[in-house]
Chains A and B, each alone.
Chain A
Amino acid sequence: MKYNLELIKNKRKIIGFSTVLILLSLLGILYSTFNTSYKKPINLGMDFVGGNELRIERVCEEECSNFSPDSVLEKLRETSKNKNFLNNIKLQFQNNNKLISIRTPYLSIEESNNLINTLDNIVGPLNYESKDSRLIGPKLGKRLLINCVTSLLVSLFAISLYITIRFDKKYALFSLLALFHDLVIVFGLFSWLGIILSVEVNSLFAVSLLTIAGYSVNDTVVIFDRIRENLKSKKGGYNETIELSVNESFRRTTFTSITTLFPLLSIVLFGSYSLFWFSLALSLGIIVGSYSSILLAPSLLLKD
């Protein structure tokens, strides 16, 4: 089975398509930055800003009775002594009213315990064995954010350095361009998700960006390796050799992406709730990464 991707013919289309994707991502990032409710390029979750998140199941005989979130919030406010508590609470009933998830600003452990007890009085009984509760102080959140940004920068630097040493400068530059392309698109997509669906990013999102970076470079490097090898040994035009090399490695690159996507999609489908957005980000990153390794990065190498 031979593949015939016509890179030379479609160079403009490929670069144009990527440019549109990047512009859309930047638009999302900018929109989110200037949106009064976020004021950040991306909707930062409680990992980075601090807060309290609680998920707990109710014990119900058969069907869980219906409560309106507003009435529950009203009752919670009546009994609360904490001023913080009056604003910014999100309460949802999920899973046929069985699962309660609630988000508030940062509370002390005592206050958080009071909250659960009050909740138990209002909509209980609750199943404490199913509790998942996280409290993060605002200071720690800020520290985590700085930490994540630093580790992203440091590892991007390390990867650039490695490629520059291993390849010549032109290859290094283009594989890095492809890498930034992938990261910007995934980041932009999550900006949009934040704007449209209020999806928040946590420290696992930073992890997914780093993994995508490693993976994307990996993919590009394999193709560049092949290009370099073919340029040394085969006769034929420069552009044609690149196109041939891409077609030769096409199967390999799509297959490795597919085999990595399988486990990730299993996590999306069967895995725990807390890993859902993480594996989704990774899956998207791998899809965009394959596209940029197969089509974008080699197209950039082509001579006019």
Chain B
Amino acid sequence: MKRRQGWLFFIIFLLTLSVYLLINYPLQLGLDLQGGSQLTLQIIKEEGKVTRDELEAVNSVIDRRVNNLGVSESNLQTLGGDQLILELPGEQNPLVASRVLGKTALLEFRTQKEGTSTDLKTLQLQRFSIKELIEKYSSTEKSQYDDNFLKIIEGDLKVIEQELNYSSTSNDLFGKLIEIKKYINNEITNLFIKTDLSGKDLINAGRRQEQTNSNWEVLLTFSNSGGEKFAEITKSIAGTNQLLAIILDGESISEASVGNQFANTGITGGSATISGNFSAENARELEVQLKGGSLPLPIEIVETNTIGALLGSKNILKSLYAAISGLIFVGIFMIFNYRILGFVSVLSLVLYGFFNLALYSLIPVTLTLPGISGLILSIGMAVDANILIFERIREELYDGNTLTRSIDSGFQRANSSIIDGHITTLLSCFVLFLLGTNFVKGFAATLGIGVLISLFTSLNCSKTILRFFTTYQSLRQKNLYLPRNNFSN
């Protein structure tokens, strides 16, 4: 008797603890329940596998960049050795993040090859004209493209193509413009020679508005050795016709001359400014990329998931309806068929629900839609064990055994098939959790936890509650445990 009471107190203690946990540690909702964007990033490596160090490095760079973006509560996880999952709750436009993430932000400083001044000047002019054309094309409302407008653009493009001695292969006009722009950028970059100064020598980046006009510029601060390299480079080209180019991701952002007055020492002080007609937004993006450092390996966004906040809350509501109606159906069915025993199983189901949710907030499990369906499904499976036991109890009763004995041997005899049955489900969950994507993992985790807890509630809690009930004489009548239509058996 004492041992039974001990279990009863233990269960009440667990219930209290669960309620406490649920109040103090609210459940974590997945993006499909609260709205936001999720991006899956693939690290690209041409040869070999991505090493753990490289993964960590990419992870930390992206982490820094995302933090600089100022999205609150963002979450970054690694997945499967070469993927990262970035969650941006509340952010419904993944474009913002993608602009910053996708770039390798490889910053280089290059000096001009000798004797290329004329070529460079021509290319710079062509770059200016193509930029103007692109601007004109993309700032015009699509509805206002008339034949005349298109002809002018096409004509101007032809002129540039002839000067470059290059003809584009793209099919549509915009594609042609972009292709030529890339070609020109490439040609310009080729006129410069790499130096040993790069983004690695940066310690900070900032931005400020230029004084003379409304454009923005980005300010670079080098490390000590970087500052020395910068001084060395500027010294070597000071007063010559050679220019210094700042190249970001293979595209020259600015080409500057170094005045003769730096011929002795170079530009010292360890800082430089990039000014290239930046808008406030562009300057900020560049700053974020540079501050985050350059990615050791390029990444590609392979999956995005965007869910509106309204849809998220609708999903919660729908799941709630499904869970509650499922519970009610099961409860009615059980009480109708098993009477007192059914009532016991409803009580242990309620306990099961509380323990489950409490464990989610403790572990913590992020609740997603598939996760909720795992939970709801495990309600059905939790009853499974109870039904096995109850059927056994009834058989014992039919055989003429006493209530207490029937209950005891009912639980005992159902044990082996319950455990067998649960293990096969657990095996599936385990495999799903190990091999599944994160979408699938949520389902596997909640179903697996559910199955484990249901072992405890159906084997232990049901037994304890049932024994507690049978201490009352009025609840010990056999007919309360048998189906109404044939307790005369």
Q: A residues touching B (Cβ–Cβ < 8 Å)?
A: 1, 56, 78-79, 81, 83, 109-110, 112-113, 127-137, 139-140, 144, 147, 150-151, 154-155, 158-159, 162-163, 166, 203-204, 206-207, 210-211, 213-215, 217-219, 221-222, 225-226, 248-249, 251-252, 255-256, 258-267, 269-272, 274-275, 278-279, 282
Chain A minimum-CB-distance residue to B303: A136
Q: Which A residues are in CB contact (< 8 Å) with B298?
A: none
Give 7 closest A-B pairs by Cβ, nearest first.
A263-B326, A260-B380, A129-B310, A218-B421, A155-B431, A137-B302, A151-B435
The answer to whether B95 and A1 touch across the interface, beta carbons within 8 angstroms, is: no
Can you list 7 residue pairs at the A/B interface with Cβ under 8 Å?
A1-B485, A134-B306, A140-B302, A203-B437, A213-B428, A214-B429, A263-B322
The reply on B330 being an interface residue by CB < 8 A is yes
The answer to whether B384 and A260 touch across the interface, beta carbons within 8 angstroms, is: yes
Evaluate whether A261 and B380 lie within 8 angstroms (CB atoms) in the complex, with A109-B95, A140-B40, A207-B436 already known. yes
The answer to whether A110 and B172 touch across the interface, beta carbons within 8 angstroms, is: no
Since A154-B431, A264-B326 are in contact, a sample of 5 more A-B pairs with Cβ atoms closer than 8 Å, ordered by chain A residue number, is: A204-B443, A207-B432, A214-B425, A218-B425, A261-B380
The answer to whether A135 and B432 touch across the interface, beta carbons within 8 angstroms, is: no
One of A207, A262, A275 near B326 (C-beta < 8 A): A262
Q: Which A residues are in CB contact (< 8 Å) with B40?
A: 140
Min CB distance B334 to A, Å, is 7
One of A131, A262, A270 near B92 (C-beta < 8 A): A131
Q: Which B residues are in CB contact (< 8 Å) with A150?
A: 435
The answer for the CA separation of A241 and B33 in the assembled complex, in Å, is 52
The answer to whether B322 and A147 touch across the interface, beta carbons within 8 angstroms, is: no
Chain B minimum-CB-distance residue to A252: B391
A-B contact count (CB 8 A): 232
The answer for the CA separation of A214 and B323 in the assembled complex, in Å, is 22
The reply on B263 being an interface residue by CB < 8 A is no
Min CB distance B100 to A, Å, is 12
Evaluate whether A147 and B308 lie within 8 angstroms (CB atoms) in the complex, with A251-B391, A272-B369 already known. no
Chain B minimum-CB-distance residue to A110: B95
Evaluate whether A278 and B373 lie within 8 angstroms (CB atoms) in the complex, with A131-B92, A203-B437, A252-B387 already known. yes
User: Of B111-119, B207-215, B311-319, which binds chain A?
Assistant: B311-319
The answer to whether A221 and B417 touch across the interface, beta carbons within 8 angstroms, is: yes
Of listed B426, B430, B436, B483, residue having the most chain A CB within 10 A: B436
Of listed A163, A211, A259, A278, residue having the most chain B CB within 10 A: A259
Min CB distance B286 to A, Å, is 18
The reply on B337 being an interface residue by CB < 8 A is yes
The answer to whether A139 and B42 touch across the interface, beta carbons within 8 angstroms, is: yes
The answer to whether A260 and B420 touch across the interface, beta carbons within 8 angstroms, is: no
The answer to whether A159 and B428 touch across the interface, beta carbons within 8 angstroms, is: yes
Evaluate whether A135 and B307 lie within 8 angstroms (CB atoms) in the complex, with A147-B436, A221-B421, A256-B388 already known. no
The answer for the CA separation of A270 and B440 in the assembled complex, in Å, is 21
The reply on B243 being an interface residue by CB < 8 A is no
The reply on B67 being an interface residue by CB < 8 A is no
The answer to whether A158 and B309 touch across the interface, beta carbons within 8 angstroms, is: no
The answer to whether B377 and A211 touch across the interface, beta carbons within 8 angstroms, is: yes
The answer to whether A266 and B322 touch across the interface, beta carbons within 8 angstroms, is: yes
The answer for the CA separation of A267 and B171 in the assembled complex, in Å, is 49
Of listed B98, B330, B384, residue having the most chain A CB within 10 A: B384
Evaluate whether A267 and B373 lie within 8 angstroms (CB atoms) in the complex, with A131-B308, A132-B306, A255-B337 already known. yes
The reply on B125 being an interface residue by CB < 8 A is no
The answer to whether A129 and B308 touch across the interface, beta carbons within 8 angstroms, is: yes
The answer for the CA separation of A251 and B440 in the assembled complex, in Å, is 33
The reply on B93 being an interface residue by CB < 8 A is yes
The answer to whether B380 and A136 touch across the interface, beta carbons within 8 angstroms, is: no
The answer for the CA separation of A270 and B171 in the assembled complex, in Å, is 49
Q: Which A residues are in CB contact (< 8 Å) with B381?
A: 215, 260
Q: Which A residues are in CB contact (< 8 Å) with B32?
A: 274
The answer to whether B432 and A210 touch across the interface, beta carbons within 8 angstroms, is: yes
Q: Which A residues are in CB contact (< 8 Å) with B292?
A: none
The answer to whether A256 and B303 touch across the interface, beta carbons within 8 angstroms, is: no
The answer for the CA separation of A168 and B379 in the assembled complex, in Å, is 31
The answer to whether A133 and B304 touch across the interface, beta carbons within 8 angstroms, is: yes
Q: Which B residues are in CB contact (< 8 Å) with A129?
A: 35, 92, 308-311
The reply on B416 being an interface residue by CB < 8 A is yes
The answer for the CA separation of A172 and B89 in the assembled complex, in Å, is 48
Min CB distance A83 to B, Å, is 7
The answer to whether A137 and B303 touch across the interface, beta carbons within 8 angstroms, is: yes
The answer for the CA separation of A219 and B321 in the assembled complex, in Å, is 28
One of B322, B379, B432 near A270 (C-beta < 8 A): B322
The reply on B325 being an interface residue by CB < 8 A is yes
The reply on B276 being an interface residue by CB < 8 A is no
Min CB distance B417 to A, Å, is 4
The answer for the CA separation of A263 and B331 in the assembled complex, in Å, is 11
Chain A minimum-CB-distance residue to B413: A229
One of A139, A222, A270, A278 near B321 (C-beta < 8 A): A270
Min CB distance B398 to A, Å, is 10
The answer to whether B424 and A218 touch across the interface, beta carbons within 8 angstroms, is: yes
